[in-house]
Structure 1
């Protein structure tokens, strides 16, 4: 414990979450390091502080996850983050920006203490609110546990692949090497499935809501892995849609598929139309398209000819708010995905 004022005593790691202080963080041979030019803070703590030696293990782990997620940002880009202690209402909001390869700036905003809502007198409503809070906390804990398991699986797979590489170097039998290659491929498939859980780990944590379609789509198209790889037209100005907060992951999966099969330079367009079903959000690309007998199978969990579960999970996420998705393109002319939004799940505004 350290003194920060005449009346307060806080743990050292809480000083590292102090609002308004800008930290630089980077990876030093697998260990994240905090550093700050702020003399008042660095006079209390050492200038370079490994995350693992200061933070409790659970918080250190969550900061590692934020660091890995931040690696997807373009140089100079930033995004908002929220450090949430699993199973509690204590939240630290902030923002992380990518300064260079492996180096980031991190600044925290005011700490959020989420106070319970005023409880109504009606017993049935009160029970509903209590159940909702319990489910939310359970989801947060499952989310945290999922991150730990994913981390452990990834590390174990790396160890197994390392041993396979060693064996491959010391054997000459081609049949054995063939088995080793198949084992390595299986290990890579397990790693991809584990990484997929990172993309969808926030599913169900926050309630659905209206989002601006254009900003969500543009954010995905501007990601570094799509930069200069795809061209696009986004004609959905003023459209707001009621979706789960994981909608970005759906757009990401569709764009990733277009690039994978259409190749560098593939063109993707986003538009909408109204029809008796409601509103149809249309995503078209200039790739090879999808064969007629695969149009429904690509959304199935049992579809084998793929590298992940992206489109299956996309359909499941959309279904949370009553939205359906279908593929209506012409094979040889490009893929065309249509999302059908019922009348109460979209609106227009500024």
Structure 2
């Protein structure tokens, strides 16, 4: 129940006074004309109005109305004991009815005030609109602040006034109509000053012909996100141009080194040229690494089917005579879109550095706190002192940056990777996905 505004309260008070006067006049006229059965019912009107609008005063008001009725009957002075008796009975009926209605009205009002307090004082914006007319029916102060309106002015508006984009508005209304309850929809509202405000809106149909919505202001977040996106685009463009120019210069440098090798037979010069070529190749690898690292976290994480990702990764690399066996339960993991690069790097690492690898096995195990995806080969394995170093920007058997990138990609969504194999028997990488980052999927 929304608290009555001062204007409405005044109207109710006037109606109570008028109905009491009208009931008194009807009583006076009825008794003078010998009508004794109908007029008492007219007193129910002010009693109900009083109980609804002033439940705390309803008991006293009802007693007063009863005494007015009782006094009118006795003041007329009709020598009719039956009339006096009925007046006394009606007096007690009025008082009892007033006490009962006011008691329930107070309970109802308290419950309504508690609900309204939550509604109107919520830190989230709350509003409701009519399903048919789209008129705004209710709006709390927080929602009014979000779109810079006065609460009372909002009640004169409709949904098209607040969401001027027809396509966006129709999509929102259609979702609510079809699903009856929706959550976390990004909606652009037009504020009082014609500026656009972003809000995350949840909506649910109520028993009444209205839809109740909550709105959380995300305008600042959207502006920051857009600013960061623009900055990243500019940085990525700069990086791409710079990297392209450096690689072109490296290509020219390596070409001139090759020409130098052909033009000299001096052993010392050939040794220097060889070292220069190795340095140029290392620079090329580092520049290519910056390209891969730059793409981490650029796009939003998404749910990805692990079996499909492994299939895509293995299709882009020549396994030679190595047999890749995949034994996964149907699961999806919430990870960076570069997840395919993770399994590509693991397969490539086994092929390059496993020495005598003939088989790679990938499977999954569900744990109490999440799921483990295990990648295992039967190669040379990794010595214990190097198990953590291989994930850093350090060189172990010329592994480069692949495993470092792998850990960085997984860390975007709090996935972890560790090496738990036995040196001499093979490498064993365990990717752990916390409970909130993996889910079972139904097999197709």
Q: 1:313 to 1:227 in 2, by over 3 A?
A: closer
| 1:70-104 C-alpha deviation (Å, 9 max, x unpaired) | xxxxxxxxxxxxxxxxxxxxxxxxxxxxxxxxxxx
Q: 1:220 to 1:238 in 2, by over 3 A?
A: same
Q: 1:316 to 1:273 in 2, by over 3 A?
A: same
Residue 265 (structure 1) shift = 6.2
TM-score by length of 1: 0.62
Counterpart-to-counterpart distance in 2, 1:249 and 1:276: 27
Where does structure 2 lack aligned partners over 5 or more consecutive residues? 1-185, 189-196, 200-214
| 1:234-264 C-alpha deviation (Å, 9 max, x unpaired) | 1224110011111111111111001102358
1:15 aligns to what? none
Alignment of 1:252-331 (within 5 A): 252-262=344-354, 266-303=358-395, 305-331=397-423
Counterpart-to-counterpart distance in 1, 2:358 and 2:226: 45
1:142 aligns to what? 235
Q: 1:252 to 1:303 in 2, by over 3 A?
A: same
Where does structure 1 lack aligned partners over 5 or more consecutive residues? 1-115
Counterpart-to-counterpart distance in 1, 2:409 and 2:349: 17
Give the RMSD, CA atoms, in angstroms.
2.2
Counterpart-to-counterpart distance in 1, 2:329 and 2:337: 19
Are 1:238 and 2:330 counterparts? yes
Q: Which has the larger radius of gyration?
A: 2
Alpha-carbon contact 1:259-1:266 (below 8 Å) kept = no
Counterpart-to-counterpart distance in 2, 1:291 and 1:264: 16
Alignment of 1:181-220 (within 5 A): 181-220=274-313
Are 1:250 and 2:250 counterparts? no
Secondary structure in structure 1 of the residue aligned to 2:379? coil
Are 1:151 and 2:244 counterparts? yes
Counterpart-to-counterpart distance in 2, 1:264 and 1:185: 27
1:348 aligns to what? 440
Question: Counting helix residues as a fraction of each chain, which structure ranks higher?
Answer: 2
TM-score by length of 2: 0.50
Counterpart-to-counterpart distance in 1, 2:302 and 2:226: 18
Residue 150 (structure 1) shift = 2.1
Question: Counting strand residues as a fraction of each chain, which structure ranks higher?
Answer: 1
Q: 2:198 aligns with which of 98, 120, 125?
A: 120
| 1:134-185 C-alpha deviation (Å, 9 max, x unpaired) | 2223223322322222221211111111111222222232112111100001
Q: 1:160 to 1:124 in 2, by over 3 A?
A: same
Are 1:162 and 2:252 counterparts? no
Residue 344 (structure 1) shift = 0.3
Secondary structure in structure 2 of the residue aligned to 1:329? coil
| 1:251-309 C-alpha deviation (Å, 9 max, x unpaired) | 11111001102358632111111223421110001211111111011111234642421
Residue 315 (structure 1) shift = 0.9
1:93 aligns to what? none
Alpha-carbon contact 2:349-2:399 (below 8 Å) kept = no
Counterpart-to-counterpart distance in 2, 1:148 and 1:161: 20
RCO comparison, higher one (Cα < 8 Å, 6+): 1
Secondary structure in structure 2 of the residue aligned to 1:326? strand
Secondary structure in structure 2 of the residue aligned to 1:120? strand
Secondary structure in structure 1 of the residue aligned to 2:265? coil
